[in-house]
Amino acid sequence: MSQSLASFAKINLFLHITGKRPDGYHDLFSLMTKITLADEMTLTFKVPGVRVFCNHPLVPQDQTNLAHRAATLFFRSCEKQKKNISVPGVAIDIRKHIPVGGGLGGGSSNAAAVLSTLNARCHDPFSQNELIKMGQHLGADVPFFLYGDTALATGMGETLNQVPKLFPIHVVVCDPGIAVSTASVFQNHDLCLTSSGKYTIETASNILSARQDVDIRPYLHNDLEAATFRVYPEVRVARDEIAQLLQRTVLMSGSGGSLFALFSDEKKAGHGYDRLLTHWAGGKKRVFLTALQQQ
């Protein structure tokens, strides 16, 4: 028996780094939302063990794959807590559309999809909060995808708060064809160059106090851009090129290297998408026409 599902990407509409922990990890303050760009996944049950297959050459198919780790964690948690489940294992097939190493959370989304799908298939042995705690062991973005809706993320990304529905936005996402190492970006990040705490608090207050659709465009920001541009100068070149072609603000998602521009008008978004598609025809850069996905 198999089940097919979509595993959606995310973008960070703003991302502030607020501090560094003694263990070397960073605290953040970020507004995260899913977009309609998605990987295709098929989970096959009634098979022994855990297996992963993926069509992308840069995605591992062994125990280091996040989806594999998620399934393994789920079954071990069931065994440890003596949960009686009828699913002995799972085969996971991933067809990648989300750029790998692009700051769009593709691997984390895959892992969250595996956890939530296995939980539903096994008649919900774990609550959503329990799944989110599992997700914390897999990666900083996994709790967000398990949460399921636009959220303000704090801590390492594990503390999530609901926000009002955002103003409908269309998103042109650009993959410059550079797989960015998140670890390298954080190692090169200079906390002295991040935004002030005052700005962060004011931004949060504006978002949380709204009682209607929020236009997020004035708050776009990413503290990690400087570090990513320093390690991967090609991402900066792509950002500047896109901004010139689209004549609007272009932001990096997460630690990069994917870039995005927001449009309130669907037709204008389509024109921007077509312009980039034509400009980059035949090259390694990719363009996606998407939209915010909100519940």
Annotated binding site for ATP: 99-109
**Burial of residue 135 (number of CB atoms within 10 Å: 0-12, 13-18, 19+):** buried
Residues identified as active-site: 10, 141
| Pairing label, strands 2-20, 26-45 | antiparallel
Coil, strand or helix: which one is 200? Answer: helix
CA distance 84 to 122: 9
Which helix H or strand E contains 272, and what residues bound it?
helix 266-279
Q: In which element (H, E) is residue 186 found? A: helix 182-187
Q: DSSP 3-state assignment of 91?
A: strand
3-state SS, residue 258: coil
Give which of 106, 117, 24 is closest to 65, Cα–Cα: 106
Cβ-contact 234, 174 below 8 angstroms: no
Annotated binding-site ranges: 99-109
Token pair 């956890």 is found at 115
Q: Which of 179, 286, 187 is nearest to 230 (CA)?
A: 187
6 pairs with which residues across the strands?
40
The answer to whether residues 21 and 118 touch, using CB atoms and an 8 Å cutoff, is: no
Report phi then psi at 48, rounded to 5: -75, 145
The Cα 223–Cα 75 span in angstroms is 37
CA atoms within 13 A on the CB side of 160: 23
